Structure 1
Amino acid sequence: MIGKAWVQTGVPWWRLCHKSAQELVGADMVFIPMNNTKSHWWLCVLYPARNEIQVLNSFNRTINYEEELVELRCGIHSILQAILASSDKLESRWSNYDILQWDVVVKKNIPPQHDACSCGIFTIKYMQFWNGSEITNPFTQKDMEKFRKKMPAELILSPLNELTTSKEHVLATQNFS
């Protein structure tokens, strides 16, 4: 899509990425859900305060995360380097833009998955409760069924949900008394 916009507008691709890059480097942590096998979700966390790319995987799998993250790291690196070489400036919390040199750290002190179908929920819960060092609100495999039932309501009723008709429909069909 970026390439298509560049061809149509003549605007350099990195300038089209400036807003996204600004949001990226303006964050203390960046959560990126990953799915490398089309069957399993895990979480990549960019943690610039430690120059780390943290991996939270609910399955204790042997995966070469350095290899799995090459394209992501190279893409982010290329965009940041192009913007830094331009006259555009970034307001940043990052002290080190060279994400290619950051350590990849696989976190072990996280709740594990014990079934074959909860990886997506574990990934979402990691995003909710990871502070860069630990899970702040512990959960287990036993909590997954409760999360499965609660999550749709949280999404529909979220203030970020702009589909007000779906909110109104849910609220109209529920008896909250």
Structure 2
Amino acid sequence: MDAFVKCIAEDDFNVCPECHGFRIFLQPLVSSQCSQDIVLETIKRCLPTTDLQKAKMIFLPVLHLSHWSVYCINLGQSRVDVLDSLNYTSNNEVTWDTYHSPMGQILMERLSATLSLAAPCKFPQFANWRRVPIRVPFQNNICDSGIFSMKFIEFYDGEGHGSLHTTIDPDRSKEMRAEMLQYLAFHTANKVHAPPELLQFHIGEFHPSFHPLFY
């Protein structure tokens, strides 16, 4: 996930520079239990060099209890959108509220406070913004939350009630994993040179989709 965030942030700058800064991608470390100083330095490294006040969305991938979800601070809608691929209605032990409410409140309080230190007066205080579950496709396999979260970060637009500018087929999780492996292995942000035997799998350049929202 850390590598994916770095790659998509680089694509945001190189592929569509006129839109760079509309989306801010934070490293997963920001949602961890590290000290505020470590989180603060991580946030500073993630912030674009553009005018921060033009940002529309801040994406934070969150790993909690071995499950990935995405918190999107939707600055344009003054809310926190939660994109989670787990179907809680089929799980009698855990509900969306029991999973996200206590954890999400603590996480947003900490992020809002630390972001205000990283970029004073650039972002509103969002600790008490309502957290909204966004309707997204559900994973079929217990281990698919990571790949789904990557797709959410890549394609979520945040407009209106929020939607994904792609179709995610839960039955294609193996194919999505292979596509993501190709993306990460051959991305220019990956400074490790691929061994010659892997070059046969390089099927061309791949960049995330950039949507009309950002133009």
For 2:36 and 2:58, how far apart are their aligned partners in 1?
Answer: 24
Q: 1:150 to 1:36 in 2, by over 3 A?
A: same
Q: What amino acid sits opposite 1:75 in the alignment?
A: R
Q: Structure 1 residues 22, 141: CA separation in 2 closer, same or farther (over 3 Å shift)?
A: closer
Task: Point out the more displaced range, 60-69 or 139-148.
Answer: 60-69
| SS in structure 1 of the partner of residue 176 of structure 2 | helix
**Structure 2 match to 1:162:** 191
1:28 aligns to 2:52 (yes or no): no
Over aligned residues, Cα RMSD in angstroms?
Answer: 3.2
Q: Given the superposition, is the C-alpha separation of residues 140 and 166 from structure 1 closer, same or farther in structure 2, using an over 3 Å criterion?
A: same
CA contact (8 A) 1:43 1:57 kept: yes
Name 1:10's counterpart in structure 2: none
Summarize the alignment of residues 2-151 of structure 1 with structure 2, pairs less than 5 Å apart. 19-20=44-45, 22-23=47-48, 26=52, 27-38=55-66, 40-61=67-88, 62-64=95-97, 65-82=100-117, 92=122, 94=123, 97-108=124-135, 110-132=136-158, 133-151=162-180
Deviations 1:57-77 (A, max 9, x none): 111221322311123212223
* Structure 2 residues without counterparts, runs of 5 or longer: 1-33, 89-94, 204-215
What does residue 209 of structure 2 align with? none
Contact 1:17 1:79 in 2 (8 A): no
| TM-score where L is the length of structure 2 | 0.60
Q: Take 2:60 and 2:36, find their aligned partners in 1: how far apart are those partners?
A: 22
Q: Residue 85 of structure 2 contacts residue 149 of structure 2 at CA under 8 Å; is this kept in 1?
A: yes
Decide which structure has the larger Cα Rg and report it. 1
* Deviation digits for residues 90-125 of structure 1 (CA, Å, limit 9, x no counterpart): 5x4x4xx111231100112x1111222211111111
Q: Normalized against structure 1, the TM-score is what?
A: 0.72
Aligned residue-pair number: 156
Whether the aligned pair in 1 keeps the contact of 2:83 and 2:152 (CA below 8 Å) is yes
Give 5+ residue unaligned stretches, structure 1.
Answer: 6-12
Distance 1:18 1:35 in 2: 17
